[in-house]
């Protein structure tokens, strides 16, 4: 039995309305990570659930939430302006639900990119660092780095967790992005993992082992961040 998740709702805006969220707040939590879902699956996706439960074991709370399109059960993701509003509202809700705890923000793929886009336009109040679970640098088969241009405007630490087989992030393009960001960016590569952090059986590793690797990387990075 994992840490219990409290079901919440919070307003994005008067026009957009409210969205759902899941708060996992373990005893003795030392910080809270606001996690957005990817484009094709919501906050209850098993991967995000596993991440939240594993982080709880490290005394890291999580707030997972729905983007408005997912709340409405629509297929097409929200435009950036709407998604960024949801990110800001989720960060505010995390601060309200877990007062006094330092904040991290980010998420899986699309959710992480929308979080960084919001941060680039105007800093998210109280957020000390961004965590990307598979930053979607480009569409599959169309390598490029245009989606990373806004990251130069992000002035807080960023942790990039990427699989070496990630078809959304060719390392020939991702590594130079990380280098340009300098000390603000930390890259952790999960060997053999794809964009969903799955590994092939012949790799000799399991998805569970990859997940534990990712969680250790987040925990170590967050601890260093807390000491700064």
Cα separation of 113 and 14, whole Å? 24
- Please give the DSSP secondary-structure letter assigned to residue 68: H
HEC string of 30-49? CEEEEEECCCCCCCCCHHHH
The CATH classification of domain 5-227, taken from the options 3.40.50.970, 3.40.50.2300, 1.10.540.10, 3.40.50.1820: 3.40.50.1820
Specify the pLDDT at position 1: 58
Q: Distances from the Cα of 66 to the Cαs of 15, 63, 69, 205, in angstroms? A: 16, 10, 8, 31
Per-residue pLDDT of the chain (228 residues; tens, 9 = 90+): 578 999 999 999 999 999 999 999 999 999 999 999 999 999 999 999 999 999 999 999 999 999 999 999 999 999 999 999 999 999 999 999 999 999 999 999 999 999 999 999 999 999 999 999 999 999 999 999 999 999 999 999 999 999 999 999 999 999 999 999 999 999 999 999 999 999 999 988 999 999 999 999 999 999 988 776
Q: What is the pLDDT of residues 68-88, one digit of tens each?
A: 999 999 999 999 999 999 999
């Amino acid at each position: 039995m994992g840490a219990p998740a409290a079901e919440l709702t919070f307003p994005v805006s008067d026009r957009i309305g409210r969205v759902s969220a899941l708060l996992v707040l373990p005893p003795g939590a030392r910080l809270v990570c606001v996690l957005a879902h990817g484009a094709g699956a919501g906050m209850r996706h098993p991967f995000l659930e596993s991440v939240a439960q594993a982080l709880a074991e490290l005394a890291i709370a999580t707030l997972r939430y729905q983007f408005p399109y997912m709340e409405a059960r629509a297929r097409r993701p929200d435009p950036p302006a709407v998604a960024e509003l949801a990110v800001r509202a989720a960060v505010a809700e995390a601060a309200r639900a877990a007062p006094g705890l330092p904040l991290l923000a980010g998420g899986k793929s699309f959710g992480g990119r929308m979080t960084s886009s919001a941060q680039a336009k105007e800093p998210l109040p109280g957020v000390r660092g961004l965590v990307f679970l598979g930053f979607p640098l480009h569409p599959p088969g169309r390598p490029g780095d245009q989606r990373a241009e806004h990251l130069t405007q992000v002035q807080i630490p960023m942790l990039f967790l990427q699989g070496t087989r990630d078809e959304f992030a060719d390392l020939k393009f991702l590594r130079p992005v990380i280098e340009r960001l300098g000390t603000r960016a930390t890259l952790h590569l999960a060997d053999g993992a794809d964009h969903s952090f799955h590994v092939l059986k012949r790799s000799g590793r399991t998805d569970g082992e990859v997940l534990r690797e990712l969680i250790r990387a987040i925990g170590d990075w967050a601890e260093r961040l807390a000491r700064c």
